[in-house]
Amino acid sequence: MKKVSYVPQLQESECGLCCVNMVMRFHGDQIPMSYLYESLEVGRDGHNLSQLRGFLEKNNYECKIYKSNVSDLEKFSGSPLIVFINNCHFVVLEKINSRNVTYVDPDIGRVKEDLSEFEAEYSGKFLFANPVVNRKKISIKENSFSVYNDFFRKHIFRFGVLLIIAGISYLLSLINPVFLSQMSKQFDNLDSFNNPFLLLPLLLFLVFYFVVFTIKNIKTVNFSIKMDEHIYRKLVKKLLGVDYSFYMTRSTGDLMYRIGLMRSNREFLIDSIFRGLLDFGMIITIIGIVFIVSPFFIPYILGIGSLMFLVLNIIRKKVIQYQKIEVSETIKQQSQEYESLMAMFSIKAMKSEEMIRDLLSENYTKTIKMFSKRFVFTDLYRTTNTIFISFAPLGIFLYLIIMNNNQFDITSVLFMYGLMNIFFTSVGSIFNAFNMYGVFKVNMNRINDIFQATELPVPKNTFTVKKIDSLEFNNVSFKYPGQKEYTLKNISFSLKSGERLGIAGATGSGKSTLLGLLLGLYQPTDGDILINGKKMSEVSTDSFRELLSFIPQDPFVFHKSIKQNIDLDGNSSDTEIIKAAKMAQIHEDINRMPMKYETIVSELGRNISGGQKQRIIIARALLNNPEIIVMDEATSAMDTLTERKITKLLKNNGKTQVIVAHRISTIKNCNQILVLDKGSLVGNGNHESLLNENGYYQSLVNSN
């Protein structure tokens, strides 16, 4: 059986989707992961075998799910199987015999292990898929350079000028063989070396060569900076524009690593494009010159060039294979490092340093193991390439001896030697570019995952909201991407301007999800959200959000001054900032600090208390003078007295409030309280009516 191509997973929960892609590629289908994302949405919980079978059947595969022992897997040898292991992960079984097993893991690549080890991992289920007879194979091409297309179209003239300058610099190198052969004619005797005028053309050539190369390098740097700026702005815009569900299945460390890959691609792309195009042109030019001047050498350069291609291509495949796995392991390592640094307070408080050290060491060992494997083949690739570049030109002397050809004088041989030197250097450079292109594609698979993510739709002909008179949920249900179960079911309520709405419920009841719908971060699966009687999808999102401020459960402050943290856009006066701080009951705390409003908040606000962070965020929200303030456990770190003062000020200012709180005292004075249990609305009323009529609400009050 031929080998299964490795498809790395880019999200924690897409192993099943990657296995489907590997099986389809094995059977001749060329299909990008973006196509699978559109057909099988990846959610928090991933996919099950039934979902994978359904997708394959839609694409003309005969499928069957089996429950069996490991011994039964050998009966299906010759076709890859999607196997469930460790009760949480899918792999593609490639080969199995009485001693060992080989499978391709979307997470770590190809694995070969003892049968006994695999038996311990095997979870008793697998999916067999075989294409139907006479089906049409799927072939969907994906351009790794697609995110750069608009930039190169826009700057095609600038790129063309740069290419011409670079081409001139390359053509100048062809003068070297001419100089070499001509000098050999002049240096018939030692007296020729005493003539300084023979060196004058060479010196003039070197000056001109230096000027052209300097211009080329300056133009290249400027072009590279422009491209990097364009792509970075495009990336940031995309990250801020994608649906929030995108961030629910990807770690922060992973995304940070991908942004870093964009920067590493910068130099490679420009360098490889120029080198690839120019070296290819140089190769064609030299073959043409040799064909005209000395066709005798054509078999030599084509033969050695073909041998060079075969050897380097074999090694290159190994380099790319280990590069994919190394990138995957590096992302895991950096994500774990990031999470550990962010949780350092808890790690030290719980005395978990040793456990974290072991975990980081384990991740580092895996990463360095993949690095060493990749480095061995990368070094072998470079060494082989260098050997061909260095010794292939010298081979023309051996070629002349073998072919017993004495018709060439030393001048002609030196000329051909100079051409061969440039030819094989260009061939080696192209192979290096091929190798780097493989690395580039590995990087772009992860970067394109960002650019191909679904953005929030921008509806046309929307209504602009200048004031929010009412907000209504009409039989709203919601489930997260890729999930079967609804997180919220048939939620209905209405909220009028100036009212206070409280939301109560146990942990996991759907409170924060409800806020996500209200804020427009999620779209209802069923039902409608109405703003002033209009569907939310018909209302301008920008105009709605300008009238709304959100204070999250985990307040985020920037590593900036307190003043800058309150006034993020920098458009408010000091008077307005102080007024907002006073309303948030943080002004006196700030004034007690030596630097007052210029006090720098450390990363994640580690140098201020939790209550101070919450009040800074409240001041930030109040500065915009919103009509609706949405608070998700926004006062949980405050004392009761401070909380009451803030609540009273908000009420006196006529602000509409939506408040999620575990502490019933925070919401007991609300006009309306929603009581959620397991995603359902089990109570709706004020504190007194719910206390008298709703047993579940009574249990929440008693637990407080």
How far is Cα 53 from Cα 58, in angstroms, rounded to an integer?
9
State pLDDT tens for residues 640-692.
Answer: 777 788 877 877 777 888 988 888 888 888 899 999 999 999 999 999 999 88
Looking from the CA of 522 toward its CB, the CA atoms found within 13 Å total 23
Q: Which residue has the tokens 């000329």?
A: 415
Which segments of 27-155 does DSSP mark as H helices, in order? 33-39, 49-58, 115-121, 149-154
Question: Mean pLDDT, to the nearest integer, of 170-186?
Answer: 70
- 487 secondary structure, DSSP code: S
Give Cα separations from 666 to 502, 509, 632, 650 (angstroms).
8, 18, 11, 13
How far is Cα 473 from Cα 490, in angstroms, rounded to an integer?
9
Which of 307-311, 394-398, 418-422 is most confident? 307-311
How far is Cα 416 from Cα 290, in angstroms, rounded to an integer?
8
pLDDT of 552 higher than 90: no
Q: Which residues contact 76 (CB under 8 A, 6 or more apart)?
A: 128
Question: Mean pLDDT, to the nearest integer, of 484-503?
Answer: 91
Do 453 and 244 contact (CB within 8 A), yes or no?
Answer: no
Q: Tell me the chain's radius of gyration from C-alpha atoms.
A: 34
The first and second tokens of residue 689, run together, are 């009516």
Q: Domains in the chain and their CATH numbers? A: 15-131 (3.90.70.10), 231-451 (1.20.1560.10), 470-703 (3.40.50.300)
Which segments of 530-602 does DSSP mark as H helices, in order? 541-546, 562-566, 574-583, 587-591
State pLDDT tens for residues 74-84.
Answer: 888 778 999 99
| pLDDT more than 70, % of the chain | 92
How far is CA 529 from its chain centroid? 32
Q: Which residue has the tokens 């060329």?
A: 30
How far is Cα 540 from Cα 531, in angstroms, rounded to an integer?
10
3-state per-residue secondary structure call for 116-147 = HHHHHHEEEEEEEEEECCCCCCCECCCCCCHH
Structure-derived torsion over alpha carbons of residues 57, 60, 64, 69, reported in degrees to the nearest 10 = -120
Q: 0.75 cut: is pTM over it?
A: no
The first and second tokens of residue 471, run together, are 């907000």
pLDDT mean across residues, the chain: 84
How far is CA 405 from its chain centroid? 59
Question: Mean pLDDT, to the nearest integer, of 304-309?
Answer: 88
pLDDT of 613 higher than 80: yes
How far is Cα 229 from Cα 215, in angstroms, rounded to an integer?
21
How far is Cα 684 from Cα 502, in angstroms, rounded to an integer?
10
Q: Note the pLDDT of residue 197.
A: 59
Q: Note the pLDDT of residue 323.
A: 81
Handedness of CA 602, 607, 610, 615 (dihedral sign): negative
Of 463, 467, 468, 491, nearest to 479 by C-alpha is 491
How far is Cα 694 from Cα 641, in angstroms, rounded to an integer?
28
Give Cα separations from 538 to 30, 461, 526 (angstroms).
39, 8, 16
